[in-house]
Structure 1
Amino acid sequence: MKAHRRTRWLTLPAALLLALLPTGASAYPNPGLVTGDTVVHDPSMIRATDGTYLLYSTHGGLEARTSTDRIAFTRSGSAFTTPPSWWKTYSADNYPWAPDISYQGGRYLMYYAVSSFGSSNSAIGVAGSSSGRAGTWTDYGIVHSTTGSSGYNAIDPNLFVDSDGKWWLSFGSWWSGLKMIRLDPSTGKQYAGDRTVYSIASRPTGTKAIEGPAVVKRNGYYYLFASYDTCCAGVGSTYKIKVGRATSPTGPYYDKNGVNMLDNGGSPVLESHGRYIGPGGQSVMSDVDGDLLVYHYYDGQDNGTPKLGVNLLSWTGGWPTAY
């Protein structure tokens, strides 16, 4: 019965739902109902060609979950059963982070990062699969890497494919902020004709805490979502999701107030409220009923356990609103 009520609620017109919400900080919505194995970090989800939802997240060999209704999730293993040999160079524990799954040209692709916490000795890898299921992924190696002297961090990748066919990979955290590189669609790796590392968001004053980019294009604008402040501290987490928009994938991105995201800009999309602490590690997924914001939060009523959050997004007024 609860699932049925949620389904009906999610199919109401976005304008009506937004009109029913309160204003101010209390307007942040609770996550939609999800059940089953929902303890996740940095979730990325896609609806497979057979209609099954595939969700991957940080931990192990990149944990896999499936769902037939976007509500009940079941663990199905991990993307990798054997760690690729190059992981050890960047993580003594063979620990991959922040997968990003998509479907391109008849195959599933997954970008992901390998690093140790707090280090910029990091690398982004890419893998492919014909089914997208756990244990079926073939690793294609390193896409981009950083060292302790790079000034930025090769983690938290997100693939964006533009309407002109160009591929872009956003990534990064802390230090000098979020970056973007152009990819070659034939290889999934950096495009030889453009080796520029573009800067797209940073916090030059105060904390450097910005990470987890996700780029989408809607209504002629490119939107950059990012996670700000402190992750991974349970109920002490201060993560929040902010957004800016641009007329080019490489920016500049500005928030609602016209502040450049390279200069501490970013308009709030989702912040802590009630038991739902530190939402972040987000991705944006297009589904049959609209765009979804997929993220983790820390449950203040369950000792700060990280859990899956899913909300629909409205684009009324030219900016994303979670509901």
Structure 2
Amino acid sequence: DAGYGIDVRLGIQIRKSRDLVDWNFVGWVFNKLPPKGAEYITQSGGTPFNSLWAPYVMKVGDEFRLYYSLSSPTPRLSVIGLATASSPEGPWTERDVVVRSSADNTVHTNAIDPSVIVDHEGRHWMYYGSAWDGIYVLELDPSTGLAKTPLARGKRVAQRGFTSGTPNGNIEAAEIIYHLEQDKYFLFISYDWLQTKYNVRVGRSDSPEGPFYDFNGVDLNAGHDMIPMILAPYRFVDHGGWQGTGHCAVFEDDGQYYMAHQGRPGVDSHYMVLHVRRMFWMDSGWPVVSPERYAAVEQSPVSEEELVGAWERIVFGYQVVPGYANEQVSPNFQFAVPMTLDEGGTIDAKSDQHWRYDAPVLTLEIGDAAYTAIVERGRDWENKTECILFTGLNQEGVAIWGKKQN
């Protein structure tokens, strides 16, 4: 069912977990390519890939709906299709194609990577797209889960910036959620090549149709690269690190938000592993994610005294490398550097750098930057022990991570 450098069976794996740590294999969605999705590609002169990806599952009434992506070697010849079941474990039956993209000269995006939300009025919205013309939103028929208007593709809500006419990288893997307390829709998007520089950005809107705005209040549709970047390839000390950290799913369980995404070892980008992280909301209303994968570590208050000592710190930066796979061969790692929180409230014994703590909020003043972070207990996966972590943003939307050394 899995392999390296060999052909493996097609389908979408079904796994389940009670704790988000241990996952049990249940079975497969499909034992062959969905006929209607494959038929569109073949009738358009292409050959579908022998694989499916980027599923999105939701429950509508008593029906489970699974949206899948099927593409081909022909650029932009792709479909998003819908399968249904009475149980998340299946069996799944293909209903129809939801949206198509074609290999022609018209302006539209690639029909892969779906995410769906239901708004206050009961209207269903699908967000999808990769490269070409960015991220689109398409209204669905709530009764069928298919496009409300047959053959419609929707409208664009986000695109990348450009350098000398070349896109700054890929844009894909939209994920949409609604935050009740803020009454806002949050659109998470992955930038750059999925094996290397893959990173997650986020914007927000008052409406599911947009416009969505970034940390600086700039429209995601304005042709610029948005911030904040809240997840990116990273390396803590004495570890190979993780690249390809993108294509996220965001969900909430009993008041705690989580982000799940792919991660690829820094030493070999051909392997792919599921990462799950806790997600937190800053007072500014923006989300941040834990520096480490979730491990069900028991949470108890962290005292100020526990914060004093040696840390590893990552301040997110970003290097624009226009293009795609051939150009973005480097993961652009975010590297950890040493940091000491001194007992007297200074950082690294420097009189112009300070920290203070009002549990669970840690404030760090480093040069002209003032970071606000959330402190938690977690697992130091690199050293296989429990530790203290923090994650936050500064006044310009730059993310910071910290891991206490034991």
Structure 1 and Structure 2 fold alike (TM over 0.5): yes
Residues 213 and 295 from structure 1, CA distance in 2 versus in 1: closer, same or farther, beyond 3 angstroms? Answer: same
**Where does structure 2 lack aligned partners over 5 or more consecutive residues?**
42-46, 236-240, 291-406
Which residue of structure 2 aligns with residue 61 of structure 1? 11
Residues 60 and 287 from structure 1, CA distance in 2 versus in 1: closer, same or farther, beyond 3 angstroms? Answer: farther
The Cα shift of 1:292 comes to 1.3
Equivalent-residue separation in structure 2 for 1:286 and 1:225 (angstroms): 15
Which residue of structure 1 aligns with residue 76 of structure 2? 120
1:154-181 CA-to-partner distances (Å, cap 9, x unmatched) read: 1000111112211000000101100010
2:24 to 74, 90, 95: 74
Give the 4+ runs in structure 1 shifted more than 6 A: none
Q: What secondary structure, in the 3-state scheme, does the structure 2 residue paired with 1:261 have?
A: coil
Is it true that 1:154 corresponds to 2:117 in the alignment?
no
Equivalent-residue separation in structure 2 for 1:284 and 1:197 (angstroms): 23
Letter of the structure 2 residue corresponding to residue 229 of structure 1:
D
Is it true that 1:268 corresponds to 2:226 in the alignment?
no
Which residue of structure 2 aligns with residue 16 of structure 1? none
Equivalent-residue separation in structure 2 for 1:269 and 1:138 (angstroms): 37
Aligned length: 264
- Give aligned-pair identity as a percent: 31
Identify the structure with bigger relative contact order (alpha carbons < 8 Å, sequence gap 6+): 1
Residues 111 and 209 from structure 1, CA distance in 2 versus in 1: closer, same or farther, beyond 3 angstroms? Answer: same
Is it true that 1:191 corresponds to 2:148 in the alignment?
yes
Residues 240 and 85 from structure 1, CA distance in 2 versus in 1: closer, same or farther, beyond 3 angstroms? Answer: same
1:259 to 214, 218, 222: 218
The Cα shift of 1:74 comes to 2.1
Is it true that 1:141 corresponds to 2:115 in the alignment?
no
Q: What secondary structure, in the 3-state scheme, does the structure 2 residue paired with 1:225 have?
A: strand
Which residue of structure 2 aligns with residue 165 of structure 1? 122
Is it true that 1:313 corresponds to 2:272 in the alignment?
no
1:322 to 289, 301, 311: 289
Letter of the structure 1 residue corresponding to residue 94 of structure 2:
D
Which residue of structure 1 aligns with residue 131 of structure 2? 174
1:221-255 CA-to-partner distances (Å, cap 9, x unmatched) read: 11110000011x3xxx1000000111111111111
Letter of the structure 1 residue corresponding to residue 172 of structure 2:
E
Letter of the structure 1 residue corresponding to residue 198 of structure 2:
Y
1:1-323 → structure 2 map (5 Å cutoff): 60-89=10-39, 90=41, 91-116=47-72, 119-134=75-90, 136-149=91-104, 150=106, 151-192=108-149, 195=152, 197-205=154-162, 206-218=167-179, 219-231=182-194, 233=195, 237-262=196-221, 263-264=223-224, 265-274=226-235, 275-300=241-266, 304-317=270-283, 318-323=285-290
Letter of the structure 2 residue corresponding to residue 268 of structure 1:
M
Letter of the structure 2 residue corresponding to residue 257 of structure 1:
N
Task: Indicate conservation of the 8 Å contact 2:187/2:204, yes or no.
Answer: yes
Q: What secondary structure, in the 3-state scheme, does the structure 2 residue paired with 1:291 have?
A: strand
Equivalent-residue separation in structure 2 for 1:163 and 1:191 (angstroms): 17
The Cα shift of 1:287 comes to 1.5
Residues 194 and 82 from structure 1, CA distance in 2 versus in 1: closer, same or farther, beyond 3 angstroms? Answer: closer
Which has the larger Rg?
2
Task: Indicate conservation of the 8 Å contact 1:183/1:189, yes or no.
Answer: yes
Equivalent-residue separation in structure 2 for 1:167 and 1:194 (angstroms): 16
Equivalent-residue separation in structure 2 for 1:75 and 1:131 (angstroms): 15
Task: Indicate conservation of the 8 Å contact 2:48/2:70, yes or no.
Answer: no
More helix by share: 1
Q: What secondary structure, in the 3-state scheme, does the structure 1 residue paired with 2:36 have?
A: helix
**Where does structure 1 lack aligned partners over 5 or more consecutive residues?**
1-36, 40-57
